[in-house]
Each structure stands twice: as structure tokens, then as C-alpha cells.
Amino acid sequence: MRMTRVWGAALLALGLAAGPAVADSSPSPSASGDGTAPTRAGTSFRTATEIEQGQQATASGSTGDYLYWSFPADIGQRPTVKATVKLPGNHGSQTWQVDVYDGLRRRQSCQYGAATRTVAQGAATVELACVLRTVRSWSEPWANDPLPGTYYVRLTVVDLGASDLGQPVSTEVRVDSKDIGGAAAVDGSLAKPLVPGIAVKSGEKKDGSTPAVLSSFGSDDGWSAGWWSSRWVWTAIGGVLAALAGIGGYALTRGSGRPSRVPPGA
């Protein structure tokens, strides 16, 4: 009976502690389809069009243009960038590429996905994808690890025939993230996320003009602090199970506590 109570308490503690960890590993919610998704792209890092994760952004352009979007990514997220280019009916072989840069404009490598793809003559569309590494809360200065802040998407054609240059195309870009949680947690955190212009306060100057803000993502309290992750939950679970195992082992080995009977005539 005593062991039944011990293991019942262990299972109850495990269930209560695992609840936040399971919730932490669920995918990020998609943005609501309220029709406010951007319908154009920027032409440089400074003019990149801001999109939220889960939005389906669209834009029209020409082959040879550089198209830019930006999106926020926070600690523990693994962003996936998908781009679709709808090509004109009469074109030759083309190679398209999607690149992702962080807030310091460092190109981020893709874990997997076809970030560069060549399509044959007359193909209707080309689809590209780039799955980034998990965003970390802290990194060495010399490393190229993804850190929380603004990320830039650049879409362009990198190889085509001279006759295809300038032909109209339409594009679709979408960014989604999977929350990895404590599996990728590290000690330490950034003082500020890598958001260009985060130190610039939007407001009106004396001459009536408004100072430029390179990105409006995030706020002082809109980013993860960096110290909490689900690994704290699993550490607590391990401690509880170790304590209960010690109690159970003691209960099994301590005996009844009564003196042994002395044989008659001893």
C-alpha cells in the first residue's frame, strides 16, 4: 500500500510538471487572415516590407529585381521561409534563390530545404524553402548562430537568359516557426534583440518631421527574457523522481523495524 501511494505521487508530479513543457513545444499560432497581409516587397534591406509569421505576403516584380521582406523571430523558434514565384508563360531556363539574413545582415545557412532551384523552359512556378537553425538566446561574438530579432528574406533570380530579363513575375512569401523549447536552450541572453533601429524612438522632431525607424518589431517587453525554458521543467521532474526513488528504496530495504525472534533454548 505504501509503494502504491509513492508511485501514485510520482505519476501525479510528472503529469503536473510536464504540462508546461508540452504546451511550450506546440507550434506558433498563425496570424489571423484579416486581409492585412502586405502586397508589395522592398528593394533593399532598409526598405524591406515587414511581415508577421503566419502571413501570406504577395508582391509583383520583374525578373532581375531584388525583393526584400523582414520578419521577427524569437528565442526557441525554428523559422521556415517558403517562397513561390509565378513565371510568365514564355521563358527560358531560370534559377531562383531565397536568402535569409539576421539583424546584423549576416547570411544564415539553411538546415534543409531547396533555397536555390532551377526550372526548365516554360515552367509555371518555382517553389523555394529554407528551414533555419533554432534561434538561440546567446552566442559567442565570433559565431554565426541565429539570435532573436529581425530577419530579412531576399528573393531574386540568379541565372537566366538575357531575353528573359525584366519579364513580369508574381511572388508569394510565408514564414512559419516551430517552437523547439528547452531542447535548444543555452545559458545567457542578449541585452537587446538584433532589431535595427531598436534604440531609435519614433516621434516628431522640432521641425515637424518624423525620424526613420528601420524596424518596428518587438518592444521592451515583447521578446523572451532568455533564462526560462522547458529544460527547467524536466530538471525538476528528474529531481522529484530521484527523491521518490530514494524514498521507495528505503521503504523496501529498512525491514519491519521489530527485533527478530530468538529461537527457543538459545
- Give me the pLDDT at residue 63, please: 93
Q: Is residue 78 part of a domain?
A: yes
pLDDT at 1 over 50: no
pLDDT at 119 over 80: yes
The pLDDT-based confidence of 144 (bands split at 50, 70, 90) is: confident
Beta strands across the sheet bearing 56-62: 56-62, 168-179, 77-86, 125-132, 110-112
Work out how many domains the chain is built from and give that number. 1
Q: Give the tens place of pLDDT for each residue, 151-209.
A: 999 999 999 999 899 999 999 999 999 887 655 555 555 556 667 754 444 444 555 54
Domain extent at residue 66: 27-182
Q: Is residue 85 part of a domain?
A: yes
pLDDT at 266 over 60: no
Q: Is residue 67 part of a domain?
A: yes
Q: Is residue 120 part of a domain?
A: yes
pLDDT at 259 over 90: no
Residue 182, Cα to own-chain centre: how many angstroms? Answer: 13
Q: Give the tens place of pLDDT for each residue, 61-77.
A: 999 999 999 999 988 89
Q: Is residue 60 part of a domain?
A: yes
- Give me the pLDDT at residue 220, please: 47
Higher per-residue confidence, 30 vs 238: 238
Closest CA to 88 of 40, 128, 123: 123
- Give me the pLDDT at residue 243, please: 84
Largest Cα–Cα separation, the chain: 115
CA distance 180 to 234: 14
Q: Is residue 208 part of a domain?
A: no
Q: Is residue 217 part of a domain?
A: no
Q: Is residue 81 part of a domain?
A: yes
H or E stretch at 14: helix 2-24
| Count of residues making up the chain | 266
**Cβ neighbour number for residue 169 with a 10 Å cutoff:** 24
> Torsion-angle region of residue 126: left (phi > 0), alpha (psi -120 to 50) or beta?
beta
- Give me the pLDDT at residue 3, please: 47
Q: Give the tens place of pLDDT for each residue, 210-230.
A: 444 445 555 444 556 545 556
pLDDT at 56 over 50: yes
pLDDT at 233 over 60: yes
CA distance 80 to 172: 14
What is the mean predicted confidence (pLDDT) over 65-94?
93
Q: How far apart are the first and last CA of the chain?
A: 36
> By the 8 A CB rule, do 173 and 225 touch?
no
We report the CATH number of the domain holding residue 145 as: 2.60.120.380
